[in-house]
Amino acid sequence: AQWVNAWGKADFVITHPEAYELDTAFTQGATITHNQSEALQGADFVYVKNWSTYTDYGKVYNNDPAWMLTEESMELTNNAKVMHCLPVRRNVELSDEILDSSYSLVTQQASNRVWAAQAVISSLLQAK
């Protein structure tokens, strides 16, 4: 959030289930809501992440299907593109219908990760 808000050309909204608060060092300037429908309203991009608590990072406790991004929830957006940090759990964080749709940039993201990893490895191998 801090990087997007520093750019100053986007409205950055974070939505998450209650009790999954993020460290305020990372959310400065962002609008935070526990209402997913409100957050998706008119969005141009949606970046999906699973939710674990800040203090128990990596332990995913939220299995509420209402937080899975679906075709119905995407209808609230401005025909948004969907991204995910990967790996994605189908039908947990994103429904199949979203992952396999024109909304999704997830496959392109996965492809870009390969090139990024190759660049890092190349740089490390060339270092003296």
Task: With residue 45 as reference, give the H or E element that holds it.
Answer: strand 45-48
Query: Any idea which of 24-28, 68-72, 100-104 has the lowest mean pLDDT?
Result: 24-28
Residue 61 is predicted with a pLDDT of 63
Mean pLDDT calculated for residue range 87-92 = 88
Mean pLDDT calculated for residue range 28-32 = 89
Quick one: pLDDT band at residue 26, thresholds 50, 70, 90?
Answer: confident
Domain that holds residue 87: 2-126
Alpha-carbon radius of gyration of the chain: 16
- The values of phi and psi at residue 31, to 5°, are -80, 130
Per-residue pLDDT tens for 2-19?
A: 777 778 788 899 998 888
Residue 44 is predicted with a pLDDT of 96
Q: What residue has token string 């909304």?
A: 103
Quick one: pLDDT band at residue 87, thresholds 50, 70, 90?
Answer: confident
Asked if 59 and 53 count as a contact pair (C-beta separation under 8 A), the reply is yes
Residue 100 is predicted with a pLDDT of 96
Angle at the Cα of 97 from the Cα atoms of 91 and 99, rounded to 5 degrees: 75
C-alpha to C-alpha distances, 110 to 9, 46, 50, 87, nearest whole angstrom:
26, 16, 17, 9
Structurally, the chain folds into a number of domains equal to 1
- Where residue 74 sits, what CATH number does that domain have? 3.40.50.1370
- The values of phi and psi at residue 96, to 5°, are -55, -40
As to burial, measured by CB atoms within 10 angstroms (0-12 exposed, 13-18 middle, 19+ buried), residue 63 is exposed
Per-residue pLDDT tens for 43-85?
A: 999 999 877 666 766 666 666 788 899 999 999 999 999 999 8
